[in-house]
Amino acid sequence: MGLPGLVLLLLAAGLLRAQPTAPARSFQLDYEHDCFLRDGVPFRYVSGSIHYARVPRPAWRDRLLKMYMSGLNALQVYVPWNYHEPLPGLYNFAGDRDVEAFLDLTAELGLLVILRPGPYICAEWEMGGLPAWLLWQSDIVLRSSDPAFLAAVDSWLHVLLPKIKPRLYQNGGNIISVQVENEYGSYYACDYNYLRHLLGSFRALLGSEVLLFTTDGAQAEELRCGTLQGLYATVDFGPGSNLTEAFGAQRGVEPRGPLVNSEYYTGWLDYWGGTHASTSATQVARGLADMLRLGANVNMYMFHGGTNFAYWSGADLKAQYKPVTTSYDYDAPLSEAGDPTEKLFAIRTVISQFQPLPAGPMPPATPKYAYGQVDLRKYADLLDVLDVLSPSGPIRSQFPLTFEAIKQEYQGTLERDGQSTLPVTGRAGDALDVLLENMGRLSFGANFSDFKGLLGNLSLDSSPLSNWLIYPLAIDAAVQQGWPHAALPQPSSRGRSGPAFYTGTFETPGIAWDTFVKFPGWSKVRSRRADEGVERGRAQPRLPLAGPAVDKRLQPGPLLAPPRAPADPLCAWLSPACRLPQQHHGAGAGGSSSQPLPALPRPAPSQQHPQPQHLDRRINAGLPGAVTFLVCVSCTPWCVGEGREDMAALEK
């Protein structure tokens, strides 16, 4: 090779060596400067919680965009195990359950993600996210190193975490950290071997670089059992807490590193029978500002609460059983309907003092529409359709069985009054029909295995009743097969009163706006919707109204309500009424301008009855045609049993 050629070759080699390589993506702890490092640069997140399982998929983009426009640079989200594995080995990641699509959308909108995959999540969710089928093994010890529990957990994590790994920040995604378990320090077991097992599983499936963390209450006794070396410990607390004491508790287990409040409470949940929770916007904003001045990282729980659709609301045990309402509005900055509130603009103002806000206005609240009164007529008595709702017939048992023993899973959240006996009258040889309901398994509190149904025998004068016929009611399966339209009820000859299905129809002009369902004088409602004249698969209902709520998302099928409902007239109102201000907010803190909402003619004031707040229900009836929904006057039946002995005083 001649000299010129050699020179050119050397120059080319030099250019190749001089080309800069792309820096490795990383999200790490900086113990020296008490902060996070994102790609080697100090970073602080201001985040908000949203749960994809509580928001219909068509609304994901709207809610996430509003969070981004509020100034958040990250969001926090749970993955409920039972939402994706309803039966052992049967997985569902489609539609509203498509967690990968949700995560991809967050990345598209420029939001980082703090992921909380459990396996236990609390979240006021049915059984804290643990599948109820775990209780088929009656002696299982949940959230412990019980081999039966660990085997189920490992099987689930081997399905979920491979979906997560490509989306980790160091792998080019937007997930900056992953929580292991949740508030384990509040659980009685205090099983460090369990936490060590989880840590090993997460490391094996996600790699050594991912930032793993724990969250516990800001008390030394909670942090003692909830933390483990190799998991960065964070705390949670609400406005009004003493910041020095709260973060001091974190410093007790993490002397150096970033200050993190993983759950800064913007509001609170609602329990059955209580008033709607409310937290001052001023107090929430002030507490946020104080933490940001300290340089802390903050996640606001919740930023948008949403709705416990279907049968997913859980329960707490705080001196007494406290079932959670269908609504998960949480008095959050984004209302249950996804509307910006004054609290959101107060928070947005605080954030603007610490980091730039995105350019552009806040997306407005959604418009609402009134459809007027819906009259309800009786469709069938519950006991006349047992052949449809329990097609395999009854299970014969000498004594009552729990829901888990007959693999009857959780189907609804209603109330219970706690009484343990019930005087009944009858003659010797009469049959006793018992209607059982499941009001939600514990998501927080004692956290023992929360079996449902009759946990002991029913007795008459201390003598147990025997020879039971037990009908597990598969209402969802019946609906999927076309009921109630596909199977007409057999008329009853018993002249009974009690549980009965009712139906009503209203016309929609094809306007895709939200509406609210009210049941004047009713105390509980189970609601479903069946559309006539439209393609059923296209009729997607929206969210229920904010506030303590009872009925589930309207979808094809039956509705259930209690015997205290008025006998005549039976009706419901569909209107845009809402406890929250219905305003379209402009850009800037607190900016708003009211806009009139189009509505059909409303009933005269004399025709409108005062309703309990928890009976306002929100749906979307935007497709043309007749929309039919059904109700049942009774407590929700998820299992019917007939005791073939004398009438009994009921013992639970």
Other beta carbons less than 10 A from residue 480's beta carbon: 11
Active site residue 437: no
Using an 8 Å Cβ cutoff, are 332 and 459 in contact?
Answer: no
User: Can you say whether the dihedral through the CA atoms of 181, 267, 276, 555 is positive or negative?
Assistant: negative
Total Cβ atoms within 10 A of residue 423: 8
**Backbone φ/ψ region at 71: left (φ over 0), alpha (ψ -120 to 50), beta:** left
> Which residue is associated with the tokens 């050594």?
208
Residue 406 and residue 390 in contact, taking contact as beta carbons nearer than 8 Å:
no
535 belongs to the catalytic site: no
Nearest CA to 307 among 52, 482, 629?
52
Helix (H), strand (E), coil (C) string for 106-135:
HHHCCCEEEEECCCCCCCCEHHHHCCHHHH
Closest by CA position to 408, among listed 638, 248, 631, 211: 638
User: Which is the catalytic residue, given 263, 404, 409, 415?
Assistant: 263
Catalytic residue among 126, 183, 222, 404: 183
What kind and span of H or E run contains 155? helix 147-164
Q: Where are the alpha helices (DSSP H) in 235-331?
A: 243-253, 281-293
Closest to 263 measured CA to CA, from 295, 280, 286, 287: 287
What is Dmax (Cα atoms) for the chain? 117
User: How far is residue 175 CA from its own chain's centroid?
Assistant: 21
Residue ranges of E strands in 199-337: 211-217, 232-236, 260-265, 297-304, 315-317, 321-323
What is the spatial distance between Cα 66 and Cα 333, in angstroms, rounded to a whole number? 10
Burial of 416 from C-beta contacts in 10 A (0-12 / 13-18 / 19+): middle
Catalytic residues: 183, 263
